[in-house]
Amino acid sequence: MHMEKDGVTKSSSDHNLQAEANDVFSQWNLLLVVLHFHVAFFILLAFPTIFNLLSKLNSNSHKKSPPSPPKRPIIGNLHQLGTLTHHTLQSFAQTYGPLMLLHFGKVSVLVVSNTEAAREVLKTQDHIFCNRPYRKMFDIFWYGSRDVASAPYGHYWRQVKSICVLHLLSAKKVQCFRKVREEEVVVMIEKVMESCSSLVPVNLTDLFSDVTNDIVCRSVIGRRYEGSELRGPMSQLEELLGASVIGDYIPWLDWLGRVNGMYGRAERVAKRLDEFLDEVVDEHVSMRSHDGHGDDVDGERQNDFVDILLGIQRTSSTTDFQIDRTIMKALIMDMFGAGTDTTLAVLEWAMTELLRHPNVMQKLQVEVRSMARDKTHITEEDLSGMSYLKAVIKEILRLHPPSPILIPRESMQDTKVMGYDIAIGTQVLVNAWAISTDPSYWDKPLEFQPERFLRSWMDIKGHDLELVPFGAGRRGCPGIAFAMVVNELVLANIVHQFDWTVPGGVVGEQTLCMSETTGLTVHRKLPLVALASPYM
Ligand code: HEM
């Protein structure tokens, strides 16, 4: 009985144990099922991401990137650039080749340092590399990049560029501003005469800055630059454009620009410029209503650029969008920003090299003075026969390109360049200075020898990629004709009417300090000062 009882007890406890075991087993099962379900669910959700990651890893492992110098975390290669970026990048290119990939923070930067690579980027694949990257300072000063130079590639850019090319910078339009140029050159010569009579050296940097700014200002806004409220804010703008903005490369550090006061300062300067430009536009609007200007955009009367833009705004014949006041101000700012400083740099470097090379100066003076005969002033007609003058200016653009690194470009799609894979959104820096001093193309590339251009047909307009001071392709500089005639006219007159020496009378290549400034446009670090004596 007991046994039975025991047996009963045993069998019932076995049964309980079995049931318990089954219970635990089924709980485990349930847990496992739930777990499996979760894992499966997770995999299902994460599948596209994992798949993308794997396929990206796989495809990246097949991609061939251009050679790169070692980089640091977060900043990449930013710390290696130094103050004279074109020199640093040229020396990198000697190790890593004419096409290298650098990293500025999180931005991949393709650096182009020889003609072959430039031909690929600026000619063969110009349609891919014709965007401009976003830059904070362009955004602040150029009304959210509504100008030509910094606007993203596309319909808007095409419209505004054609307005500038047709109505301000075409050969015909440049010809219309001839009177402005010749008058301003006379003013410049008078200033030098005054220095001669008071026996003080001439600050050529200031002299060239005044003449180039006055010519651009009168052509664009109908006012002289000298004495205007523009001088202060424009020199601050130049300084701000030369500074590096960390937020352009490491976006999560953008706040630094606010904290260190850089953005605030830029916004204040931009506001002053904006108020000035509003005043200029208002003045033109009221003048048009007073003397009843018609809408003859390209008429014989010498309109300045603002008149022309107001005419286009009224007729709207040229564009399928309305040119509002903001676009007008952005375009005016472009002409100031792109047109003045670059021309000044050419003149400054030209006189520097001429003072260091008296034999070249003499040869140039012989040419200019023989063309002038007894005339005091060289006019624009006289320029066409001056082949040595043109050779001197070309040699300056080769040895001292005002923008040694062209305005940055950006790729608009994935592509291949010289066998390397380049991803969409890669920034492109073309080192124009490295290209025009490349010893595999140029004999004695660092020597100033204008004669080399007497024997060559090489062009500076972007057709010959051994020399690209104005860039090339669709984003190439539209201001070549405007700039070249100013350079030639100013230089011819200044060497025709005066003989020049360096204070202290030292002659030769060591005469003048050749240090360069940093920034988009590269100038002499020290102002150029020289003594003039009248020739006639
Ligand atoms: C010696 C004088 C000058 C030099 C060396 C120069 C150089 C340059 C360079 C290197 C570029 C970028 C080209 C590229 O990305 O391929 C450029 C663009 C530009 N330049 Fe000039 N420039 C000069 C004078 C002027 C003048 C006088 C004006 C107008 C008054 C001007 C207006 C422009 C504009 C609007 C752009 C932007 C074009 C675009 O993005 O489509 N430049 N210039």
Cβ atoms of 181 and 489 closer than 8 Å: yes
Known binding-site residues equal 477
Q: Read off the tokens for 251.
A: 């976006």
Residue 49 has a pLDDT of 55
**Residue in 334, 333, 350, 369 with CA at minimum distance from that of residue 448:** 350
Spell out the SS3 assignment of 374-414.
Answer: CCCCCCHHHHCCCHHHHHHHHHHHHHCCCCCECCCEECCCC
Q: Is residue 338 lining ligand 1, measured as CB closer than 6 Å?
A: yes
pLDDT of res. 215: 96
Helices (H), 199-298: 204-221, 231-242, 255-259, 262-290
Residues forming a β-bridge with 131: 410
pTM over 0.90: no
Contact present, 522 and 402 (Cβ < 8 Å): yes
Q: What is the pLDDT of residue 295?
A: 52
In this prediction, residue 10 carries a pLDDT of 42
- Average pLDDT of adjacent 10-residue blocks, the chain of 536 residues: 39 47 51 50 53 55 90 96 93 97 98 98 98 97 97 96 92 93 97 93 96 95 81 90 93 96 97 96 87 53 84 72 91 94 97 96 97 91 96 98 97 98 98 98 97 92 96 97 97 97 77 85 93 91
pLDDT for 138 equals 96
* 99-104 and 107-112 beta bridge pairing: antiparallel
CA of 384 to the centre of ligand 1 (A): 23
Residues contacting residue 140 through CB under 8 Å, at least 6 positions apart: 263, 266, 267, 270
**Sole residue written with tokens 């349609």:** 127
Query: How buried is residue 299: exposed, middle or buried, by Cβ count under 10 Å (0-12/13-18/19+)?
Result: middle
pLDDT of residue 303: 84
CB within 8 Å of 31: residues ≥ 6 apart:
none
Inter-residue contact 482 to 380 (CB < 8 Å):
no
336: Cβ below 6 Å to ligand 1? no
Give the number of residues written for the chain. 536
**Residue 403 Cβ contacting ligand 1 at under 6 Å:** yes
**Following DSSP, what letter does each residue of 170-220 receive, concatenated?**
SHHHHHHTHHHHHHHHHHHHHHHHHHHHTT--EEHHHHHHHHHHHHHHHHH
Residue 224 has what pLDDT? 86
- How far, in Å, CA of 187 to CA of 176, rounded? 19
pLDDT at position 503: 84
What local confidence, expressed as pLDDT, does residue 45 receive? 53
Does residue 471 have its Cβ closer than 6 Å to ligand 1?
yes
Order across the sheet with 498-501: list the strands: 202-203, 529-534, 498-501
Confidence at residue 7, expressed as pLDDT on a 0 to 100 scale? 40
Q: What is the DSSP string of 339-363?
A: HTHHHHHHHHHHHHHHHH-HHHHHH
pLDDT at 21: 46
Nearest partner of 240 among 334, 140, 149, judged by Cα: 140
- Here the ipTM equals 0.99
CA distances from 22 to 19, 143, 436 (A): 5, 75, 86
| C-alpha–C-alpha distance, residues 457 and 452, integer Å | 10
- Region class of 505: left (phi > 0), else alpha (psi between -120 and 50), else beta: left
Residue of 225, 333, 470 with the most ligand 1 atoms within 8 Å of its CB, for mutation: 470
CB-CB contact of 332 with 308 (8 Å): no
pLDDT of residue 343: 97
Q: How far is CA 381 from the centre of its chain?
A: 32
pLDDT at residue 30, as a whole number: 52
Q: Is 344 in the pocket of ligand 1 (CB under 6 A)?
A: no
